[in-house]
Structure 1
Amino acid sequence: MDQIRAGWFSEISDLWPGQCFSLKVQEVLFHERSKYQDVLIVQTTNHGRALILDGIIQCTEFDEFSYQEMIAFLPLCAHPQPKRVLIVGGGDGGVAREVQKHPLVQEFVQVEIDEVVIEASKKYLPFMAEGFSSSKLILKVCDGFEYMKNHKNQFDVIITDSSDPVGPAVNLFTESYFKLLKEALKPNGIICSQSGTVWSDLDQVKDTLSNCKRHFPNVKYAMSSVPTYPNGQIGYLVASLEASRDLTSPSIRFGTKEVEEYGLRYYNADIHKASFVLPNFVDKLLFS
């Protein structure tokens, strides 16, 4: 709350020094300190409703669909048979909203540690939290680490929708976490994790990919545009236990009919392929 001054919320963080993004606040809808983090939901004047955790913007109504669709459909469409899926995090319900759309997904489990985020999202972010009403969903309020330790070799796809590598999410970028992901996957499994921005977190992105490469033979990095994230860009680590799998080209292609039926506003087969085309300086540091 101390980041709202003169009617503006400003995202000030050591993760992106020397810069901040500000949203004009019309009304504070929810504010509570949970067991794990500070949870704030505001109504903004130009970006709809916004979820802010520990002073960092997680999503806004204006552009959340870009992130939710990409982190869900990059791995789901790269896998030929994504029948059983695990979502780690994603307490706002946005990833669940997208995962349940995929016609081959028969069941998905979501583990979210912070029940306050879930309940606040259901009340104040219904356009995202509608994912929680899916008949395909099994929702667990628990620690993702502990859940995966007890559920090995069970999932075709695991999606990690985490906040940035500070606070309760810091462990979701470590080598030990990728080891757990590997063990929880079926032999040809695919993962996708939120992996920061190359414009201010490139060293962190490199470290995260290095941690993943210790356990996965096939690791890629994709990007999409999200204006209210730092520098307007977010990255996705996509990795497979199948070394020969082409993650950059969808095994399952949605045509015009599917795009309309699923209400997709960002993701399509061409975007899938294009998102893995990296600027020279990024490709050189991450993959040379």
Structure 2
Amino acid sequence: MLFQTITSNEANSVLIVGGGDGGVAREVAKHPAVETIFQVEIDSRVIEVSKKFLPFMSVGYSSPKLSLFVEDGFKFMMQHKEEFDVIITDSSDPVGPAVSLFQPSYFKLMRDALKPGGVVCSQAGTVWANLEHVAQTLEHCRSVFNVAAFAHAAVPTYPSGQIGFVLGSLNSVSC
């Protein structure tokens, strides 16, 4: 699983920004070391629709480890410094308001919300659809974190058959 791949430490506290379908929460909750999951989704309608039409994904919302907040992830992270072992951003593509989730300022917010040794994983698109965007997102991650890398996973239902993400850490052994 991706979560076990991106963290070599005992991750007790995880923040998910976005992820309104509940799938990331579902997978993170399976990790035995995780004690608390904070999920921040800006749009309550995404959660409602997912619970109604994607019950196999939204089952993540039933985890006793999960605390769900319907608010802006930027504001949430500004109020939570050095609290999370892992931060995962499961966002929409960088269009409209979501553009802000792909900027250096967002990576700085994630850095500041991480505990020492923490790891971030953020949606970065696909090299097949927009190589320039992927390269720029990776560069933004590199500008903030000591270690940054691009990875991808096969997702047959996505238009390109895959999704990419950037990983970042201030600690060289975490990525």
Q: Aligning the two structures, in what range does the TM-score lie when normalised by the shorter sequence?
A: over 0.9
Q: Which letter does structure 1 place at the counterpart of 2:54?
A: L
Structure 2 vs 1, CA of residues 246 and 176 (structure 1 numbering), >3 Å: closer, same or farther?
closer
The 5 Å alignment of 1:1-288 reads 69-70=1-2, 72-75=3-6, 78-243=7-172, 245=173, 247=175
Let me know the Cα RMSD of the aligned residues: 1.2
Residue 114 of structure 1 and its aligned partner are, at CA, apart by: 0.2
Where do 5+ consecutive residues of structure 1 fail to align?
Answer: 1-68, 248-288
- 1:265 aligns with none
Give percent identity, aligned residues only.
Answer: 57
Task: Report the Cα distance in structure 2 between the residues aligned to 1:169 and 1:79, rounded to whole angstroms.
Answer: 29
- In 1, are the aligned partners of 2:43 and 2:70 still within 8 Å (CA)? yes
- Match of 1:211, SS? helix
| Contact 1:222 1:238 (8 Å CA) reproduced | yes
Instruction: Assess if the C-alpha contact under 8 Å between 1:74 and 1:192 holds in 2.
Output: no
**2-side partners of 1:93 and 1:167: how far apart?**
22
Structure 1 residue 246, shift from structure 2 partner: 5.4
Label 1:188 to 1:138 Cα distance change in 2 as closer, same or farther (>3 A).
same
CA distance in structure 1 between the partners assigned to 2:59 and 2:8 by the alignment: 25
Are the equivalent residues in 2 in contact too, given 1:95–1:131 (CA < 8 A)? Answer: yes
Query: Is contact 1:87–1:159 with CA below 8 Å preserved after alignment?
Result: yes
Shift of 1:120: 1.1
- Do 1:190 and 1:240's aligned partners in 2 also have CA atoms closer than 8 Å? yes
- Note the C-alpha offset of 1:167: 2.3
Q: How many corresponding residue pairs?
A: 175
Q: Which aligned runs of 4 or more in structure 1 are off by greater than 4 angstroms? A: none
- What secondary structure is seen at the aligned counterpart in 2 of 1:231? coil
TM-score, normalised to structure 2, is 0.96
TM-score (norm 1): 0.59
1:111 Cα deviation from its structure 2 partner: 0.2
**Amino acid paired to 2:103:** T
Could you tell me how far 1:202 is from its partner in structure 2? 0.8
- 3-state DSSP of counterpart to 1:178: helix
Structure (1/2) with the larger helix percentage: 2
Q: Which amino acid aligns with 2:5?
A: L
Partner letter of residue 157 of structure 2? Answer: T
Q: Is the 8 A contact 2:119 2:174 kept in 1?
A: no
Residue by residue over 1:89-111, the C-alpha shift from the partner in whole angstroms, topping out at 9 and shown as x without a partner, is 00000000000000000001000
Q: Distance in 1 between matches of 2:71 and 2:117?
A: 26
CA distance in 1, matches of 2:174, 2:143: 19
